[in-house]
């Protein structure tokens, strides 16, 4: 029997306090974790009734680890956290920067915790928590996005270019003359022969020009997505550098169009403008209502030439039926719906969130998107 199993059976055991202490130690070891991240971790663990060690691991890793080089530290400390071994303490770095954590306050988190149950098949501990769901509150704040990391911009630019080319792979109606490829252009040959007195000339050819893709990108900026906002904003900006036929939105408890802000000359300027324009950063999650808003107020952007990218972890506080209905309407109108999920592909991932279950029939592609390596696979998937 694991050490945790002994502790959870004790009447004075408090899992929330134990998790809070784990987050504090992670911060001392260099991870950017503050009250915001700690609150999100508690809320995420509380989202599912029964969570095994594996599920708790990838849930916390997805929220608390922002860089690949932090994984080794997290894995070592998580093993000690789970088995109730002493956690090594270090002096925290001075003045840690965590702008996202400083821009919102968190409400009271329910602390009720039931006794564990035994899963006889997996021999793993199951912890049952009171379901609180994703936050439904609206948080008003102006987020300083200038702290976002831009070191992956060059790689994201290459990925964005390949995404645009993949979506433009199908030929359109417009034709363009080509020296070697395409079908013979008899009319063009006749016109060219007029300049040579009717003598034979080189047979020109015409080929169809690939369609310029139309994209609509909707990014979830609720609290559970804070850790991934920087990556997805960089991707959205990079896509906009390769095609002007892209519309950008962010949503949490409401939806905001940020196409104009994202078209700024530089990424840093785009971040500044978006941070000032959006007042619902790190709020709750109402995916269904937000997509219904898109259907109602921006229906003219949704047509058979549009590919919709939804960037979200799928945690939903609204009704799953509302999400299903909104996605069904979108899918009927557009070319395809692609859902990029940062949790997909992580260890022991299961689509337990109600939003993911409701959306499944109306999404053409579910794509893992926790980091740049995952995003590299996206163009090939879109081309297939």
Pairing of strands 246-251, 205-210: unpaired
Average pLDDT over residues 233-262: 92
HSE at residue 313, side-chain half, CA atoms within 13 A, is: 26
Instruction: Give dist(CA 57, CA 54) in Å, integer.
Output: 5
pLDDT band at 103 (very low <50, low <70, confident <90, very high): very low
Among candidate residues 250, 254, 213, 216, the one with its CA nearest the CA of residue 233: 250
pLDDT of 137 strictly over 50: no
Domains, in order of start, for the chain:
3-128 (no CATH), 145-166+211-383 (3.40.50.410), 175-209 (no CATH)
Going by the DSSP 8-state scheme, the letter that residue 7 receives in this structure is: H
pLDDT of residue 291: 95
Q: Exposed e or buried b for every residue in 47-82, given b needs 16+ CB within 10 A?
A: bbeebebebbbbbbbbbbbbeeebeeebeebbeebb
pLDDT of residue 251: 93
pLDDT of 371 strictly over 90: no
> Does residue 366 sit in helix, strand or coil?
strand
* 338 beta partners: 309, 365
304-355 confidence digits (pLDDT tens): 989 999 999 887 777 888 999 999 999 999 999 999 998 886 665 666 566 7
Give the global pTM.
Answer: 0.58
HSE at residue 256, side-chain half, CA atoms within 13 A, is: 19
pLDDT band at 295 (very low <50, low <70, confident <90, very high): very high
- Give the lowest-confidence range in 115-129, 154-168, 234-248, 367-381: 115-129
């Amino acid at each position: 029997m694991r050490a945790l199993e002994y502790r959870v059976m004790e009447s004075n055991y408090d899992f929330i306090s134990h998790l809070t202490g784990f987050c504090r130690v992670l911060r001392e070891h260099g991870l950017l974790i503050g009250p915001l991240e700690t609150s999100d971790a508690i809320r995420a663990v509380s989202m599912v009734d029964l969570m095994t060690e594996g599920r708790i691991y990838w849930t916390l890793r997805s929220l608390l680890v922002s860089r690949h080089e932090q994984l080794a530290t997290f894995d070592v400390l998580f093993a000690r956290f789970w088995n109730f071994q002493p956690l090594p303490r270090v002096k925290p770095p001075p003045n840690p920067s965590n702008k996202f954590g400083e821009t919102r306050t968190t409400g009271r988190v329910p602390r009720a915790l039931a006794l564990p149950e035994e899963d006889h098949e997996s021999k793993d501990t199951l912890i049952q928590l009171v379901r609180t769901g994703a936050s439904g509150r609206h948080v008003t704040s102006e987020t300083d996005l200038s702290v976002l990391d831009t070191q992956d911009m060059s790689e994201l630019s290459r990925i964005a270019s390949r995404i645009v080319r993949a979506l433009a792979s199908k030929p359109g109606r417009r034709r363009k003359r080509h020296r070697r490829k395409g079908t013979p252009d008899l009319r063009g040959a006749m016109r060219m022969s007029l300049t040579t007195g009717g003598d034979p000339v080189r047979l020109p050819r015409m080929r169809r020009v690939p369609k310029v893709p139309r994209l609509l990108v909707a990014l979830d900026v609720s609290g559970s997505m804070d850790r991934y906002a920087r990556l997805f904003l960089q991707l959205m900006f990079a896509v906009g550098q390769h095609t002007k036929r892209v519309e950008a939105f962010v949503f949490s408890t409401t939806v905001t169009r940020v196409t104009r802000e994202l078209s700024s000359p530089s990424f840093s300027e785009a971040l500044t403008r978006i941070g000032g324009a959006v007042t619902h950063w790190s709020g709750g999650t109402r995916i269904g209502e937000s997509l219904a808003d898109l259907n109602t107020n921006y229906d003219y952007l949704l047509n058979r030439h549009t590919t919709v990218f939804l960037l979200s972890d799928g945690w939903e506080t609204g009704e799953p039926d509302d999400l299903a209905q909104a996605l069904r309407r979108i899918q009927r109108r557009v070319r395809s719906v692609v859902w990029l999920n940062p949790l997909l592909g992580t260890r022991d991932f299961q689509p337990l969130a109600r939003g993911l279950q409701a959306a499944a029939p109306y999404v053409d592609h579910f794509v893992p998107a926790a980091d740049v390596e995952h995003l590299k696979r996206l163009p090939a998937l879109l081309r297939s």
